[in-house]
Amino acid sequence: MTQETPINPIPKDRSPATVALDNLVRRKLRVSDPSNPTEIATALKSLYSGEKEVLEQEAAGLPYVKVKTIRTAGEAETTTRTELKQARQDVDRDLEALIGNASLKDIQSELRGWAHAIRQIISQGVDAARFALDPRQRDSAMASRRQLSAYARLARYVGALTPDLNLPYRQLARSLDEVGAMVLVTLGDALANAGPGGAKIR
């Protein structure tokens, strides 16, 4: 009497759960040998093609936490921002008018130094004014405003000593006063936007 051989016998060293897992891997990943790591890796890359960069980082031993890109809306254009932009453009225009004046070609380097210093003060003052909740930033904004006022007085004084060039120096002084005022307005807006209990003025 012959003994029947069972179909798909399970090897003695493998459990039914292991065989079922191998069959699942074959079916889902479409690999012929579930114990072959190369086939498994290739199949996973094909299955998760959208995660290719993450898998490569993981293989290289790099952090593979996927960080979502957060898009933020641009700053809204307000009346204060528009007026501040116009005031800064006026200062730039007046400075370039003085630098390009043929009568002042002998002190062009000094005027370029003025322009650089004034633009730096304006940038620092505006940036500090936007963070007016911080007392140090608030003090920095007010210091920048005082420096702009000092340059405006100096421009008027130089203009008074050079009558032929009084007008362009006075125009620069007025523009500096305007941008200094806008620094103060920007500071006030920052405090107002914080709400009633947002800041305590020293």
117-167 pLDDT tens trace: 999 999 999 999 999 889 999 999 999 999 999 999 999 999 999 999 999
Greater pLDDT, 31 or 93:
93
**DSSP one-letter code for 177:** H
Predicted pLDDT at 201:
44
d(CA 168, CA 97): 7
The mean per-residue pLDDT over the stretch 66-93 comes to 75
CA distances from 105 to 98, 154, 169, 172, 189 (A): 9, 19, 15, 18, 41
Residue 65 has pLDDT above 90, yes or no: no
Q: What are the pLDDT digits (tens) for 32-41?
A: 887 787 887 7
Closest CA to 10 of 20, 68, 192: 20
Predicted pLDDT at 113:
94
Predicted pLDDT at 48:
72
Domain ranges in the chain with CATH number 1.20.1440: 79-193
Closest CA to 98 of 154, 179, 152, 172: 172
- In the block, which residue shows the tokens 């523009």? 175
Compute how many other C-beta atoms are within 10 angstroms of the C-beta atom of residue 87.
22
Query: Looking at 19-33, 57-71, 86-100, 156-170, which range is the least confident one?
Result: 57-71
- In the block, which residue shows the tokens 């952090």? 63
Token representation of residue 3 = 């003994």
Query: Looking at 13-17, 80-84, 162-166, which range is the least confident one?
Result: 13-17
Predicted pLDDT at 27:
80
CA distances from 194 to 132, 133, 189 (A): 10, 8, 9
Cβ–Cβ under 8 Å, residues 138 and 187: yes
Predicted pLDDT at 33:
81
d(CA 127, CA 119): 12
d(CA 113, CA 163): 22
Cβ–Cβ under 8 Å, residues 144 and 121: yes
Compute how many other C-beta atoms are within 10 angstroms of the C-beta atom of residue 137.
17
Residue 43 has pLDDT above 70, yes or no: yes
Greater pLDDT, 164 or 48:
164
> How many Cα atoms are found within 13 Å in the side-chain-facing hemisphere of 4?
3
CATH of domain 79-193: 1.20.1440
